[in-house]
């Protein structure tokens, strides 16, 4: 019955994607079909017992190594007094320090891998597979593939010369993919938040990012079908030449980019968590004036009520939709870091989600689709293609919806196998 619930939810989300877009009768059936088949096949392959065990084990060991090594500098040199075991045992870890250490270190590693051609090789392979099976243009395939490994601002840089030539459908597809996936650096952070809840969470987050890529294409083409002949259709996309001199230069450049990301994350958290508290105070005051009974009004409560019918489509039992709705609402209004932090708190509370709902929710939250990301996309892509800034602004809200629906599709797919 639970599997049937997720299956029905999958088709309901596809219908919702069509309703939220142009509602064109020219539905790209081939792309939508192969996007759905790709999701199911990747999940089925990677969750097979014989494949799952080694992949999940390697993923967890790899993320553990990255976490441990990234914290060495802060433990031994920079913040030794507040990162030692005694301090953590008494007061708990300082999340800001852990976040900064992991993000800067992983950003540096990513830049080194890019300098030596390892990441470009993976991106090229993934791009060719996406183009072959999903029938999208070369620019779209590379843009979407890059989003699996890089952030939403870094990925478009790989197709910078072609952005001004993209059709609205191509541009929307790349924007939606940016919203529906997460960067490697933040994936390690989310793993550190949820490892104590589920030992295989690193493997699940990797699978989530992989299968969200075809989901984003399917949703994007349902919402914005291609009505033009893309100029890039027959182009052979060449990735830009590396902009670093050697491995040391790449490490330094990655660290610089990492600290920019850290400052952005911390600023967003400080601003938006404070705003939530302020809004909740206002809602509590309004409740006292209007209706001084029942539970205290809050933004989380409103989000939960509004999102309940939508998160039900994920395969979540109705009794748990309120909690999951709150998380999806927080993720959309704020960001996924806040949502994952709250998810960890819920799972450690006396009344946690079921393990099935926890896994589905983890997949559904795994994306950058939030209001702050709209500004990041407009600023990032708009800075390298100023002529498209108007198009980016016009499609910003719809790509937020598309990214959210894509990660929800990912949640329903995983619900078929757990």
pLDDT digits (tens, 9 = 90+) for 216-244: 999 999 999 988 877 777 667 676 767 78
Total domains in the fold of the chain: 1
- CA 36/CA 325 separation, integer angstroms: 24
Task: Kindly give the confidence (pLDDT) of every residue in the chain, 418 residues in length, as a single tens digit, with 9 standing for 90 and above.
Answer: 788 999 999 999 999 999 998 888 888 888 999 999 999 999 888 888 777 888 888 887 877 777 777 666 666 555 656 655 665 555 555 667 777 777 787 778 888 888 888 888 888 888 888 888 888 888 888 888 888 877 777 778 778 788 888 888 999 999 999 999 887 777 887 888 888 888 888 888 889 988 999 999 999 999 999 888 777 776 676 767 677 888 889 888 888 877 877 777 677 667 767 777 888 888 888 877 777 665 677 777 787 788 899 899 999 999 999 999 989 988 888 788 889 988 999 999 999 999 999 999 999 999 888 888 887 788 778 877 888 888 888 998 899 999 999 999 999 999 988 8
Q: Count the neighbouring beta carbons within 10 Å of the beta carbon of residue 207.
A: 24
* Cβ contact 122:149 at 8 Å: yes
Measured torsion, CA atoms of residues 256, 259, 264, 265, in degrees rounded to the nearest 10: 140
pLDDT digits (tens, 9 = 90+) for 310-348: 899 999 999 999 999 989 988 888 788 889 988 999 999
* Cβ contact 310:326 at 8 Å: no
Task: Give CA 216 to chain center in angstroms.
Answer: 11
Closest by CA position to 243, among listed 224, 257, 262: 257
* 67: containing domain: 2-415
> Please, what is the end-to-end C-alpha distance for the chain in angstroms?
12
- CA 176/CA 173 separation, integer angstroms: 5
């Amino acid at each position: 019955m639970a599997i049937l619930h997720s299956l029905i939810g999958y088709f309901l989300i596809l219908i919702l994607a069509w309703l939220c877009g142009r509602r064109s009768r020219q539905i790209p059936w081939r792309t939508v079909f192969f996007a759905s088949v790709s999701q199911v096949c990747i999940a089925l392959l990677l969750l097979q017992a014989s494949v799952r065990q080694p992949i999940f084990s390697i993923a967890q060991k790899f993320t553990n190594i990255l976490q441990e090594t990234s914290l060495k500098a802060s433990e031994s040199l920079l913040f030794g007094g507040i990162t030692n075991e005694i301090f953590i045992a008494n007061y708990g870890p300082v999340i800001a320090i852990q976040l900064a250490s992991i993000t800067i270190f992983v950003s540096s590693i990513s830049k080194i891998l890019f300098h030596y051609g390892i990441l470009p090789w993976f991106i090229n392979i993934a791009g060719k597979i996406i183009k072959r099976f999903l029938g999208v243009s070369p620019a779209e395939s590379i843009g979407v593939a890059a989003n699996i490994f890089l952030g939403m601002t870094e990925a478009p840089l790989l197709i910078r010369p072609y952005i001004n030539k993209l059709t609205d459908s191509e541009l929307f597809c790349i924007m939606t993919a940016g919203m529906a996936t997460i960067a490697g650096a933040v994936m390690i952070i989310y793993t550190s938040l949820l490892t104590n809840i589920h030992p295989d969470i690193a493997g699940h987050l990797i699978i989530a990012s992989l299968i969200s890529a075809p989901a984003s294409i399917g949703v994007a083409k349902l919402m914005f079908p291609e009505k033009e002949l893309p100029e890039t259709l027959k182009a052979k996309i060449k990735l830009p030449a590396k902009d670093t001199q050697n491995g040391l230069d790449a490490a330094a450049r990655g660290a610089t980019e990492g600290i920019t990301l850290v400052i952005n994350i911390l600023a967003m958290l400080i601003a938006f968590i404070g705003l939530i508290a302020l809004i909740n105070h206002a809602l509590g005051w309004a409740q006292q004036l209007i209706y001084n009974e029942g539970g205290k009004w809050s933004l989380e409560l409103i989000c939960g009520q509004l999102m309940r019918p939508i998160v039900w489509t994920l395969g979540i039992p109705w009794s748990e939709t309120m909690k999951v709705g709150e998380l999806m609402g927080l993720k959309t209004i704020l960001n996924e870091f806040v949502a994952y932090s709250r998810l960890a708190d819920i799972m450690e509370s006396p009344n946690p989600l079921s393990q099935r709902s926890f896994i589905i929710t983890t997949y559904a939250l795994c994306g950058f689709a939030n209001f702050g990301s709209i500004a990041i996309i407009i600023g990032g892509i708009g800075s390298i293609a100023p002529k498209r800034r108007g198009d980016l602004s016009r499609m910003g809200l719809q790509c937020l919806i598309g990214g959210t629906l894509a990660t929800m599709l990912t949640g329903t797919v995983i619900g078929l196998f757990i």
